[in-house]
């Protein structure tokens, strides 16, 4: 039986695309391997959000070819769409398939062979958790972002299709699904009957009320203007179905910088939104994206960003150092921040993220949360449990693949949180500096766990959270 290996860089949407490719390969009677040297076909799913992501893609392509001289290696993803020539001239890839040619990928992967199944089942990460793409593309015009030109205009998956896919995942014993997209909160704005994200959530809740869905929904990252009162009301009214966790990009705490970024809000509005989320949804975990070193960002702008974040009830940050992307307006902006200074600012924000994460976890001590027992155990033998409000807890014994009530008992200092299948991908909702939530994963099959692939190590057995990170331990509540 031929074997395949999939290497994924980038966001949850890339993970979803890789899972779809994995389903295609399964249907073509390919079996997975954790060793790229053993693979007959290798898929490299690339990211282009920063110049480092581009470099990671090129480096990983070369490494995969060094490890396996005979395999068919196919590159896809955002970098393959934006700059296919850069990947082709490496001379190590058999095919470079951009996103606009995505429909060709199944036959290229199978080398013309037929897929033996009509239905492609998608499995992600821990098998009990999945991501489901409900939206693609973006209509925003942020001055620094290349992704809209790569992924195209905003497109929504109809609610009926979303509910059908959720039912299929629930039938496969998936207990938590993260709704994902490039701009997930824009769902419905492109449909013939103009709708909004709250309408999709109401459709999903209706299916749950009728007993057709038995899982919980995680919203992940939403743009500030898309976090409506209706969305918060639904989260507050149905905390067991729509978990209390949202990541809301800030990008900068300086209104001057936000204007240069072409962001469609200012800090006062962001503050109001975050405080409203915290007031409306009890114990919600709130995260934020931040960009450091944006052209024209002064020391006082940076200090203002630190002050704004420190004053808000945020639990973690996902910090990017600005990377000029050819084809964006920001690439030509004046007053660039020196690389060394940008790095110092990034470290300061990550340190703040760690402090915010510790404070959030301390606040949760003594509470009882609904937690999902993950299938991958920690190296110490404990069961890893993900709470509804996005805290990973180590529990001596808990039912894996099931949601149970977990008492959050104590915090311990640990430098390493063991994860059998981690990834260091650039996932906005999962920043290792925060110490919250599980490591993002490449897709997994129901039969065996898969090791994550990264540009600087194809398989790792532990994720560095931070020096002196506080790890939460708990027990199943009686």
Three-state secondary structure readout of the chain: CCEEEEEECCCHHHHHHHHHHHHHHHHCCCEECCCHHHCCEEEEEECCCCHHHHHHHHHHHHHHHHHCCCCEEEEEEHHHHHCHHHHHCCCCCCEECCHHHHHHHHHHHHCCCCCCCCCCCCCECCCCEEEEECEECCCCCCCCCCHHHHHCCCEECCHHHHHHHHHHHHHCCCCEEEEECCCHHHCCCCCCCCCCHHHHHHHHHHHHHCCCCCCEEECEECCHHHCCHHHHHHHHHCCCCECCEEECCCECCCHHHHHHHCCCCCHHHHHHHHHHHHHHCCCCEEEEEEEECCCCCCHHHHHHHHHHHHHCCCCEEEEEECCCCCCCHHHHCCCCCCHHHHHHHHHHHHHHHHHHHHHHHHHHCCCEEEEEECCCCCCCCCEEEEECCCCEEEECCCCCCCEEEEEEEEEEEEEEEECCCCCCCCCCCCCCCCCCCCCCCCCCCCCCCCCCCECCECCCCEEEEEEEEEEEEEEECC
> Bigger pLDDT: 109 or 5?
5
Final residue belonging to a domain, choices 337, 364, 391: 364
Instruction: Check residue 296 and give left, alpha or beta (phi > 0: left; psi -120 to 50: alpha).
Output: left
The boundaries of the domain holding residue 59 are: 3-110
C-alpha–C-alpha distance, residues 132 and 91, integer Å: 34
Q: What is the pLDDT of residue 41?
A: 93
Q: Which phi and psi angles does 445 have, rounded to 5°? A: -95, 160
Give the full edge-to-edge strand order of the sheet including 176-180: 129-133, 176-180, 216-218
Closest CA to 203 of 172, 244, 191, 249: 191
* pLDDT single digits (tens) 64-90: 999 999 999 999 999 999 999 999 999
Q: What is the pLDDT of residue 16?
A: 82
- The answer to whether the CB of 146 falls within 8 A of the CB of 325 is yes
Q: What is the pLDDT of residue 447?
A: 29
Percent of the chain surpassing pLDDT 90 = 65
What pairs with residue 221 in β-bridges? 247
Percent of the chain surpassing pLDDT 70 = 84
> Are 178 and 290 within one domain?
yes
> Are 392 and 446 within one domain?
yes
Total tally of structural domains belonging to the chain = 3
- Answer yes or no: is 320 within a domain: yes
Calculate mean pLDDT across residues 136-154. Answer: 93
CA distances from 335 to 147, 293, 294, 339, 412 (A): 24, 10, 9, 12, 44
* pLDDT single digits (tens) 421-453: 333 232 222 222 233 554 333 322 222 333 333
> Are 374 and 305 within one domain?
no
Q: What is the pLDDT of residue 437?
A: 55
> Are 90 and 143 within one domain?
no
- Answer yes or no: is 452 within a domain: yes
> Are 392 and 357 within one domain?
no
* pLDDT single digits (tens) 450-473: 333 333 334 332 222 233 356 888
- Answer yes or no: is 115 within a domain: no
> Are 104 and 133 within one domain?
no
Final residue belonging to a domain, choices 110, 138, 158: 110
As a whole number, the mean pLDDT across the chain is 84
Report whether pLDDT(62) > 50.
Answer: yes
CATH number of the domain where residue 212 is located: 3.80.30.20
Token pair recorded at residue 42: 């290798």
Q: What is the pLDDT of residue 121?
A: 46
Q: What is the pLDDT of residue 113?
A: 60
Report whether pLDDT(418) > 50.
Answer: no
- The answer to whether the CB of 275 falls within 8 A of the CB of 304 is no
> Are 92 and 162 within one domain?
no
* CA-based radius of gyration for the chain: 21
| End-to-end CA separation in angstroms for the chain | 48
Calculate mean pLDDT across residues 392-408. Answer: 91
* pLDDT tier at 124, thresholds 50, 70, 90: low
Final residue belonging to a domain, choices 364, 387, 415: 364
* pLDDT tier at 358, thresholds 50, 70, 90: very high
> Are 217 and 141 within one domain?
yes
Angle between helical axes of 229-237 and 197-209 (0-180°, round to 10): 20
Q: What is the pLDDT of residue 19?
A: 83
C-alpha–C-alpha distance, residues 195 and 181, integer Å: 16
* Least confident range of 50-54, 199-203, 342-346: 50-54
CA distances from 167 to 56, 102, 174, 177, 253 (A): 36, 25, 10, 11, 41
> Are 463 and 323 within one domain?
no
For β-strands 285-292 and 316-321, DSSP reports them as: parallel
- Answer yes or no: is 164 within a domain: yes
- Answer yes or no: is 153 within a domain: yes
> Are 175 and 226 within one domain?
yes
Q: What is the pLDDT of residue 469?
A: 55
- Answer yes or no: is 121 within a domain: no
> Are 197 and 328 within one domain?
yes
Calculate mean pLDDT across residues 139-166. Answer: 94
* Least confident range of 21-35, 144-158, 320-334, 389-403: 21-35
CA atoms within 13 A on the CB side of 297: 29
CA distances from 246 to 195, 281, 374, 388, 410 (A): 20, 11, 21, 11, 25
Residues ≥6 apart with Cβ < 8 Å to 67: 36, 37, 458
What pairs with residue 411 in β-bridges? 472
- Answer yes or no: is 124 within a domain: no
- The answer to whether the CB of 428 falls within 8 A of the CB of 283 is no
Token pair recorded at residue 25: 């390969």
Report whether pLDDT(197) > 50.
Answer: yes
- Answer yes or no: is 396 within a domain: yes
For β-strands 403-418 and 462-476, DSSP reports them as: antiparallel
* pLDDT tier at 387, thresholds 50, 70, 90: very high
CA distances from 249 to 259, 329, 359 (A): 15, 20, 20
CATH number of the domain where residue 75 is located: 3.40.50.12160
- Identify the top-confidence range among 13-22, 48-57, 270-279, 399-408: 270-279
* pLDDT tier at 230, thresholds 50, 70, 90: very high
> Are 352 and 405 within one domain?
no
């Amino acid at each position: 039986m031929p074997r395949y290996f999939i290497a994924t860089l980038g966001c949850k949407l890339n993970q979803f695309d890789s899972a779809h490719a994995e389903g295609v390969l399964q249907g073509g009677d390919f079996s997975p391997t954790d060793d790229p040297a053993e693979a007959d076909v290798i898929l490299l799913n690339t990211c282009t959000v920063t110049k480092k992501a581009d470099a990671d893609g090129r480096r990983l392509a070369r490494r995969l070819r060094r490890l396996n001289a005979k395999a068919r290696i196919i590159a896809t993803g955002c970098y393959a769409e934006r700059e296919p020539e850069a990947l082709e001239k490496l001379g190590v890839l058999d095919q470079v398939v951009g996103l606009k040619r995505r429909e060709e990928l199944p036959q290229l992967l199978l080398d013309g062979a037929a897929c033996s199944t009509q239905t492609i089942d998608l499995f992600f990460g821990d098998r009990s958790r999945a991501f489901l793409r409900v939206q693609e593309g973006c209509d925003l015009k942020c001055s620094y972002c290349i992704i809209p030109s790569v992924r195209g205009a905003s497109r929504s998956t109809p609610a009926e299709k979303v509910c059908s896919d959720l039912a299929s995942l629930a039938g496969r014993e998936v207990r938590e699904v993260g709704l994902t997209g490039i701009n997930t909160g824009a769902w419905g704005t492109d449909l013939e009957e103009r709708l909004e994200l709250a309408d999709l959530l109401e459709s999903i809740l209706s299916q749950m009320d009728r007993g057709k869905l038995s899982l919980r929904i995680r919203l992940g990252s939403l743009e500030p203007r898309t976090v409506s009162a209706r969305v918060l009301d639904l989260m507050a009214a149905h905390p067991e179905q729509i978990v209390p966790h949202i990541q809301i990009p800030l990008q900068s705490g300086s209104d001057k910088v936000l204007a240069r970024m072409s962001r469609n809000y200012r800090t006062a509005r962001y503050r109001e939104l975050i405080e409203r989320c915290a007031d409306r949804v009890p114990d919600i975990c709130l995260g934020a994206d931040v960009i450091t070193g944006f052209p024209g960002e002064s020391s006082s702008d940076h200090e203002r960003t630190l002050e704004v974040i420190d004053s808000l009830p945020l639990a973690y940050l996902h910090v990017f150092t600005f990377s000029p992307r050819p084809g964006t307006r920001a690439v030509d902006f004046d007053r660039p921040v020196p690389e060394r200074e940008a790095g110092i600012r990034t470290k300061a924000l990550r340190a703040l993220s760690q402090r915010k994460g510790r404070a959030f976890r301390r606040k949760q001590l003594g509470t009882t949360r609904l937690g999902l027992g993950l299938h991958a155990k920690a190296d110490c033998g404990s069961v890893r449990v993900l709470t509804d409000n996005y805290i990973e807890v180590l529990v001596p014994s808990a039912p894996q693949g099931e949601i149970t009530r977990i008492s959050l008992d104590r915090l311990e200092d640990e430098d390493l949180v063991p994860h059998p299948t981690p990834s260091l991908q650039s996932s906005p909702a999962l920043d290792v500096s925060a110490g919250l939530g599980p490591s993002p994963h490449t897709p997994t099959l129901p039969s065996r766990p898969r090791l994550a692939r990264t540009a600087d190590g194809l398989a790792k057995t532990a994720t560095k959270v931070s020096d002196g990170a506080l790890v939460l331990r708990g027990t199943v509540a009686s």
